[in-house]
Structure 1
Amino acid sequence: MPALILARHGETDVIGKKLTGRINGIHLNASGRKQADVIAAYLKSLKIGAIFSSPLERAMETARPLSEACGIPISPHSGLTEINFGAWQGRPYRQLEKLKLWQTIQTSPSRVTFPAGESFITARQRMVASLEEIVSVLGKNDVAVCFSHCDPIRLAIAYFLNMALDDFQRLTIEPGSLSLVIFIDGKIRLGPINFQAAESESPFRLNEIMRLSMPEE
């Protein structure tokens, strides 16, 4: 019964200001570094089998404290990276919100391919395939932590919930949040979603959640 903890990277100075996408050189700010430390303190007591991360700096920096606390190296995984926003990458939201395509993104993202970039459909396929690949190499009761980005995590969780792609933006995945996905005999059960770790709490009560998720004999 392997499980994945999907972690969104911590805060940066440009969140909510511009569409960063795959731009290099975007680092965690002080709040983001604190979030990374809290995630590490919260999860280090779990039996973590592997740590995977988007190769972008802000995700790797969020993963690093947990890696150091657990003594487990980070495995960069390109499938966990941010959506390729193409020509939109790096542009301020105040500019993008004036474009016709922006309205389509809000109502029918399944129809959208970013100029010189990726479609939401392709991004969902990539993220889900990557998570399934990671699960396939885990042991029966292993837990892996996957550090990624808002939209890829939302797309994957919406898929696991059998939500239409056009509804994925109804989900909220905040910076530094954790979401639990448990795989049981080919089926998927979700634990807490968009959960904010706290140093003073026990991690997810993960063992209890996984026990309750086991099929009855």
Structure 2
Amino acid sequence: MATLVLLRHGRTTANAEGVLAGWTPGVGLDDTGRAQAEAAATRLRALPWRTVVTSPLQRCRETVTAVLGEPADGAGPVVDDRLGECRYGDWEGRPLKELAKEPMWKVVQSHPSAAVFPGGEPLAATSARAVAAVREWDGRVGAEHGPDALWLACSHGDVIKAIVADALGMHLDQFQRIVVEPCSVTVIRYTPLRPFVMRLNDLGSDLSGLVPPPKRRRRRAKRADSDATVGGSTG
């Protein structure tokens, strides 16, 4: 299997105004968001990406372009709607302080697996489509480019939290315990036995350690790649 690097988009005008954007068109990065993306670029641009996949929403596409630059061949990242934001329905475009007074707010906070947004979709459906997308893409990238391949997916806070919860074996009802800040990096390596969450909400560490080592004859069994280090990693 390959290694997935999840990137949340930078701060948007809606984030700054405390508004739930959802799938509202025309929501792009603000000045802070563009600065965040440029900071992420110093860590991400030099990595050998095999595939880049993004949510179709403007804020993610702007983030990917700011981080990786315009592609020389004009191909650009692959757009996958399954990595798009949760469809919040009637909640979209409304201030968060106003939404916090809605009865559904408590459900979203304490029992998100049961949350169904009026005119939108269940959070459980958001989680299912996003997890299916990254697992499918990871298998495809690994099959085409080998087990050391790196690929990038740019998505949204709640979507990335749902993917991380799945990788950690957590019920969706616990996903509000996870924090994913704008332009943060989260790294997951899927293996035949279990996923490993290698980094979470990373805003500044050196990512050069993710660069695959020189190709060599692989002698380890697939099961060994899924084994956890007893006593913890030696670094």
Q: Quote the residue 1:7 is aligned against.
A: 7
Report the CA distance between 1:208 and its aligned residue: 8.2
CA contact (8 A) 1:44 1:69 kept: no
Q: Displacement of 1:41 after TM fit?
A: 2.1
How high is the TM-score relative to the length of structure 2?
0.83
Match of 2:221 in 1: none
- C-alpha displacement of 1:59: 0.4
Give identity over the alignment, percent. Answer: 30
Is 2:129 the counterpart of 1:126?
yes
What are the Cα deviations for residues 26-48 of structure 1, in whole angstroms up to 9, with x where unaligned? 11011111121222221122211
User: In the comparison of the two structures, how many residue pairs are matched?
Assistant: 210
TM-score (norm 1): 0.90
1:67 touches 1:74 (CA, 8 Å); kept in 2? no
The offset of 1:22, in angstroms, is 0.5
CA offsets 1:38-84 (integer angstroms, 9 cap, x no match): 22221122211111110100000000133327747211110110000
Corresponding residue for residue 80 of structure 1: 83
Structure 2 unaligned blocks of 5 or more: 214-223, 228-235
C-alpha contact (below 8 Å) 1:86/1:114 kept by paired residues: yes
Superposed counterparts of 1:55-66, under 5 Å: 55-66=56-67
Q: Tell me how large the CA RMSD over aligned residues is.
A: 2.1
Q: Max radius of gyration: which structure?
A: 2
| DSSP 3-state at the match of 2:113 | helix
In structure 2, relative to structure 1, the CA distance for the partners of 1:204 and 1:165 (3 Å cut) is farther
1:7–1:148: 8 Å Cα contact kept in structure 2? yes
The 4+ residue runs of structure 1 with deviation greater than 3 A are 69-72, 213-216
Q: Could you tell me whether the CA contact under 8 Å between 2:194 and 2:226 is conserved in 1?
A: no
Show structure 1 runs of 5+ residues with no match: none
User: 1:1-217, aligned counterparts within 5 Å?
Assistant: 1-15=1-15, 17-68=18-69, 71=72, 73-138=76-141, 139-140=145-146, 141-197=148-204, 202-203=206-207, 205-207=209-211, 214=225
